[in-house]
Amino acid sequence: VNGKEQPDYDVLIIGAGMSGIFSVVRMKELGLRTKVIERGTGPGGVWYWNRYPGARFDCESYIYGFTFDRKILDEWDWKEHFSAQKDTEEYINFLVDQTGIQDAFQFDTEIKSAYWQESSRFWLLTDTTGHCYTSRFLINALGPLTAHTLPNIPGVSDYKGLSCHSSRWPKEEVSFEGKRVGLIGTGATGVQIAQEVAKTAEQFTIFQRTANWAVPMRNKALSAEDMADIRRRYTEIHTACKSSPQGFHFGPDPRNTFDIPKEEREAFWESLYSRPGLVKWVGNFKDLYRNQAANDEYSAWVANKIRQRVNNPATAEKLIPKSHGFGTRRVSLETNYFEVYNQENVRLVDLKETPIEKITEKGIKTSEEDLEFDILIYATGFNPVIGAYEDIDYQGENGLKLKEKWADGPKSYLGLNVSGFPNMFTVLGPHHAAGNLPNSIETAVNWVHQLIKYMSERGFTYEMADEEGELEWTKHCNEVGKGLLALNVDSWQTGVNHNVPGKQKRTIPRYFGTNIQVRQWCSEEESRGYPHFRFNE
Ligand code: NA7
């Protein structure tokens, strides 16, 4: 990158998760002086922070791993079909070692502001200690679910026992043996925690506000032979991921629900149910998430599976989601989650019937009783997608604040560039492909790599996405999901978090199209020589 003055770095990256790591790899390939600034004390992002008991992938390990380096694919052995957090964190450290990027990281540092400097055309970042860093380019690799939220229940800070949000779990092991444990939240995280805590807690109370659809994970260890087979098939697996809408190695069944006779479609659902992973969600009939009648039919079928597994019929009914259909929110994968409610030491409190009034010094007071706990666990989720961007003060050209620009919902070009914010990228930020995330990260970071390479080759030091492209993409993002039942439901995917002021209204913070569409848009822009960008003006 040619510039008259030199900033401290060519590229600053905020966040050392999967997005940050792949960004460093690609930037180093371009010979750029790159620094990653990370709040945690090690790499991993979501796999560094979410070390709660039972944390593991909900997609197959071998499709989660990055595809860019054949040597890493050949040398890394996944231990299970759905890797546990500890093994995934180990994989991430292995990635860092193998790619030789260790010296790019600065841990234990939290960025509080990022200002574009008009005179030097550098980014100026400031951390919470007041230290400043300058760079030509800024890559935000903040992660879509980073800003954790505690419940907005009175008295949260009054509780005197051990309490912990799932994504701020202590590094030391927490024992539940002989303990009275309370858990608030039954999303994907709450389900995983419940399965673990129920094994040893003396008394375990699960507070559920909304029941969540959950289907069997069917995890298994991977033997040396399994890994050898996976390795032989890596190219085939990666091609399947690239050609499926959400980056998984399977896609929707091309048939519509009611085109298939009842008996045949139930046999199909039975076969999906017996398979591991999210195929029961992502590999189902193609109309299931747009056609209400089809969705009702499948939801009723899964509800019966829950009824078969829970001994107490009243408890089973409480565990069956009534307010949203199957797959209209993130589906959880579980291992004996429903059977947990058959255990003597486990109790379900339905907050729709008996709401929590307050958290006390000793536990939780509901409308009916005062409960005491030794440990309180909050699996209460995140301020989604743009939450992490709200925690940093971003200022672009002409004093434009990102907070203001995104006040009515995010605007971006391809989910990667924001008009008014030159030389800045938002990897896995709003409006970029979701699904199997490392797949989307590869698309995003390869885009950043190509754009910076294009600039370097031409001596450009400044880029800015134009408003026309941004309008086009934002309009596309707001329209592409039209008709999806998920858009009529409150969830982090529709930007709702009732614990955060201003996040009660449904928005479209993520991309509801396919990964294939995102790649097409990106490669078209690239192959046409970046018509929606201005360089070196
Ligand atoms: P989620 O999916 O946002 O789930 C949060 C859970 O916490 C959900 O059950 C909420 O109930 C519950 N919650 C949140 N606030 C409260 C209050 N104030 N009172 C009671 N219950 C509350 O977060 P997860 O961490 O489980 O999963 C996040 C993603 O990580 C997941 O989708 C995967 O992609 C991985 P609600 O449903 O809002 O009634």
Q: What is the rounded distance in angstroms from the CA atom of residue 274 to the CA atom of residue 293? A: 24
Q: Which atom of ligand 1 is nearest to the CA of 209?
A: 39
Centroid of ligand 1 to alpha carbon of 490 (angstroms)? 11
Residue 351 near ligand 1, beta carbon < 6 Å:
yes
Tokens encoding 497: 């978090």
Centroid of ligand 1 to alpha carbon of 381 (angstroms)? 4
Residue 151 near ligand 1, beta carbon < 6 Å:
yes
Place of tokens 């949203």: 324
* Cα distances (angstroms) measured from residue 91 to each of 18, 24, 65, 189: 11, 17, 8, 21
Q: Which residue has its alpha carbon closest to ligand 1 atom 14?
A: 380
> Hey, which of 191, 333, 380 would you mutate to test ligand 1's pocket, going by the most ligand atoms within 8 Å of its Cβ?
380
Cβ-in-10-Å burial (0-12, 13-18, 19+) of 381 comes to buried
Tokens encoding 320: 């069956």
Residue 428 near ligand 1, beta carbon < 6 Å:
no
* Cα distances (angstroms) measured from residue 414 to each of 452, 477, 510: 16, 9, 11
What residues contact residue 393 under an 8 Å CB cut-off, 6+ apart? 112, 113, 114, 115, 401, 403
Q: Which atom of ligand 1 is nearest to the CA of 380?
A: 7
Which 3 state secondary structure label does DSSP give 365? strand
What residues contact residue 344 under an 8 Å CB cut-off, 6+ apart? none
Answer whether 96's CB lies under 8 Å from 89's CB.
no
Residue 23 near ligand 1, beta carbon < 6 Å:
no
Residue 387 near ligand 1, beta carbon < 6 Å:
no
> Hey, which of 59, 189, 382 would you mutate to test ligand 1's pocket, going by the most ligand atoms within 8 Å of its Cβ?
189
Task: Please report the pLDDT score of residue 1 as a whole number.
Answer: 43
Residue 189 near ligand 1, beta carbon < 6 Å:
yes
Residue 182 near ligand 1, beta carbon < 6 Å:
no
Q: Which atom of ligand 1 is nearest to the CA of 185?
A: 7
Q: Which residue has its alpha carbon closest to ligand 1 atom 6?
A: 185
Q: What is the rounded distance in angstroms from the CA atom of residue 486 to the CA atom of residue 289? A: 7
Q: What is the rounded distance in angstroms from the CA atom of residue 452 to the CA atom of residue 469? A: 18
Residue 497 near ligand 1, beta carbon < 6 Å:
no
Q: What is the rounded distance in angstroms from the CA atom of residue 43 to the CA atom of residue 103? A: 12
Predicted complex ipTM: 0.99
Q: Which atom of ligand 1 is nearest to the CA of 351?
A: 20
Centroid of ligand 1 to alpha carbon of 227 (angstroms)? 34
Q: Which residue has its alpha carbon closest to ligand 1 atom 31?
A: 188
What residues contact residue 99 under an 8 Å CB cut-off, 6+ apart? 21, 24, 25, 28, 69, 72
Tokens encoding 513: 């199209």
Task: Please report the pLDDT score of residue 2 as a whole number.
Answer: 43
Q: Give mean pLDDT in consecutive 10-residue pieces for the chain, a chain of 537 residues.
A: 75 98 98 98 98 97 96 97 98 98 98 97 98 98 97 97 97 95 98 98 98 98 98 97 96 97 98 98 98 98 98 98 98 98 98 98 98 98 96 98 95 98 97 93 97 97 98 96 97 96 92 96 97 94
Centroid of ligand 1 to alpha carbon of 188 (angstroms)? 8
Q: What is the rounded distance in angstroms from the CA atom of residue 245 to the CA atom of residue 255? A: 15
Task: Please report the pLDDT score of residue 537 as a whole number.
Answer: 75
Task: Please report the pLDDT score of residue 434 as a whole number.
Answer: 87
Centroid of ligand 1 to alpha carbon of 326 (angstroms)? 16
Q: Which atom of ligand 1 is nearest to the CA of 153?
A: 18
